[in-house]
A and B are shown apart, each in its own frame.
Chain A
């Protein structure tokens, strides 16, 4: 029996949901190439060239994409790229959420099991918040909260994410770990954090009001 083509053993990871923009190519679970840029804006220009710079233009049998939350536009850029590549390569798309990867990165950086509150920049001045136990199990659903409400939710000794420093400033005693999702660290994700398909996790409803300023139901 002939050996499988390299891309059959490869997994491409795409993460453009937040201020960072990263890609990674894994083969048999080992990272073989990747790049992570702190862009802020411009993911739609950078992402595809970053993938094209990977070995074999990033071709893989499985595409793993960050489906959010983060910036509405960044989420869509990643999903659009992942779905189009899957169509072109007849690949399978799977997804994960930003807080899961940030929590996994925080545990790895900490060096062992630790409870983590992930606090990330949201929209309209709100923060996305999700707590994880020491084994990486999410303890509550994702919430989009005002900073005060987010701070009131903190319970773990470690806060990770783009608003970690702000949390530590407001809550002395909390250890801050400023982190953004990095596709090269996707190997840290527990299997339970991987979902089939790639449904967007915007974390917030569209900013739209019905005539008369009424919020949609």
Chain B
């Protein structure tokens, strides 16, 4: 049995989990998990405020470690390794979780494993589905990231597409702001979209049909703003039309990426917070069917930021004997595919 303590603090959720890396089912693999959301603290600001996030992580993380271990009926001495997010993300929060992980590892004499938060998302489908084998085509869509990757193996990624401006989740959040739906905006847009007509508002599909493989959502978001200001459309129609346009873009880009993948992909996999969007999942299901692949999507609770995925990535790395030194730096930027060529406009989301 390989028991891993996972710690996640890269954005606005503090999470701690105990993972059993040798268990065969999702239920048995997640021995315990606690997640503390900061939504209420950030809501008045309409988005995540890095300093507020970092302070909140520091306030709760140690008690959460203690409580999660208690939930599991285990102690720190029972753990085989400590896995903590080392980036990318809001650096103040990443440091809180990583230093906590380092101190726990040092004090207990256990190995430290620094995890790329994106790798946590990328491997979370393997946590949920023990039959999912490498290699697979991954669509990673969240508030901070939007990319398509060939997941060749543990630590082996080939980036096929990224965004040249906004991440998909960011586009949902900004649209929610335009429509006055509050924060966090993605689920609010999805709820309102159910009541609207997805063809009511003519909106652009940036880059659809172009030879460029990447994403762009900034123009779509601006078009929603202009459509709202025209006063011609109901909010529900705006939400539904935006969501449909965004999904059309994602499907077009993903179809192109699948064509560029090696022929031995085992599945089309979607992960990240926007993977919780039911309309997107439905469209991806159809696309995967076209390609003759299964669609693998982790449960919604594993799509948003969590520590189970960090613990799982730690378990996969621990199984190969990997660990990191105590002076491991926190990294605000950390692409999964270090060799990918820079893309115009792409920054942290690349």
Residues of A within 8 A of B (CB): 44-49, 51-52, 57, 59, 72-73, 76-77, 79-81, 83-89, 200, 202, 206-211, 216
Stretch at the interface among B90-98, B212-220, B268-276: B90-98
Q: How many residues in B have their beta carbons less than 8 Å from beta carbons of A? A: 35
Give the residue name and chain of the A residue nearest to B61 (CB).
A80
| Whole-angstrom distance between the Cβ of A183 and the nearest chain B Cβ | 16
Main secondary structure of the interface of B (DSSP, over half): helix
| Whole-angstrom distance between the Cβ of B229 and the nearest chain A Cβ | 18
> Is B330 at the interface (CB under 8 A from chain A)?
yes
| Whole-angstrom distance between the Cβ of B230 and the nearest chain A Cβ | 23
> Is B99 at the interface (CB under 8 A from chain A)?
yes
Give Cα A200–Cα B44 distance, bound, in whole angstroms.
Answer: 23
User: With A84-B102, A210-B44 given, can you name 13 additional A-B contacts, CB distance below 8 Å?
Assistant: A44-B99, A45-B328, A45-B329, A48-B106, A51-B106, A80-B62, A83-B100, A88-B103, A88-B104, A206-B55, A208-B45, A208-B52, A216-B44
Are B51 and A206 in contact, with the CB atoms below 8 A?
A: yes
The residues of A that contact B65 with a CB separation of less than 8 Å are 84, 87
Are A72 and B54 in contact, with the CB atoms below 8 A?
A: yes
Could you name 21 residue pairs across A and B whose Cβ atoms are closer than 8 Å?
A44-B330, A48-B103, A48-B106, A49-B327, A52-B106, A52-B326, A57-B107, A72-B54, A72-B92, A76-B55, A76-B96, A77-B96, A84-B65, A87-B65, A88-B107, A200-B55, A206-B51, A206-B55, A208-B52, A210-B45, A211-B46
| Whole-angstrom distance between the Cβ of A83 and the nearest chain B Cβ | 4
The residues of A that contact B329 with a CB separation of less than 8 Å are 44-45
Are B76 and A80 in contact, with the CB atoms below 8 A?
A: no
Give Cα A202–Cα B55 distance, bound, in whole angstroms.
Answer: 10
> Is B58 at the interface (CB under 8 A from chain A)?
yes
Residues of B within 8 A of A (CB): 44-46, 49, 51-52, 54-55, 57-59, 61-62, 65-66, 76, 92, 95-96, 98-104, 106-108, 325-330
| Whole-angstrom distance between the Cβ of B263 and the nearest chain A Cβ | 43
Interface centre among B62, B95, B330 (most CB of A within 10 A): B62
The residues of B that contact A48 with a CB separation of less than 8 Å are 99, 102-103, 106, 326-327
Give the residue name and chain of the B residue nearest to A48 (CB).
B102
The residues of A that contact B92 with a CB separation of less than 8 Å are 72-73, 76
Give Cα A87–Cα B99 distance, bound, in whole angstroms.
Answer: 13
Give Cα A13–Cα B201 distance, bound, in whole angstroms.
Answer: 63
The residues of A that contact B52 with a CB separation of less than 8 Å are 206, 208
Give the residue name and chain of the B residue nearest to A89 (CB).
B107
Give Cα A72–Cα B145 distance, bound, in whole angstroms.
Answer: 27
Give Cα A50–Cα B250 distance, bound, in whole angstroms.
Answer: 48
| Whole-angstrom distance between the Cβ of A199 and the nearest chain B Cβ | 9
User: Are A85 and B328 CB-contacts (below 8 A) given A44-B98, A73-B92, A208-B52?
Assistant: no
Give Cα A195–Cα B272 distance, bound, in whole angstroms.
Answer: 42
The residues of A that contact B76 with a CB separation of less than 8 Å are 87-88
Across the interface, A84 reaches (CB within 8 A) one of B55, B103, B325, B328, namely B103
The residues of A that contact B102 with a CB separation of less than 8 Å are 48, 81, 84
Give the residue name and chain of the A residue nearest to B109 (CB).
A57
| Whole-angstrom distance between the Cβ of B84 and the nearest chain A Cβ | 10
Give the residue name and chain of the A residue nearest to B329 (CB).
A45
Are B66 and A87 in contact, with the CB atoms below 8 A?
A: yes
Are B326 and A59 in contact, with the CB atoms below 8 A?
A: no
The residues of B that contact A89 with a CB separation of less than 8 Å are 107
Are A84 and B54 in contact, with the CB atoms below 8 A?
A: no
The 5 closest A-B CB pairs, nearest first, are A88-B107, A84-B103, A83-B62, A206-B51, A48-B102
Are B46 and A76 in contact, with the CB atoms below 8 A?
A: no
Give Cα A211–Cα B76 distance, bound, in whole angstroms.
Answer: 43
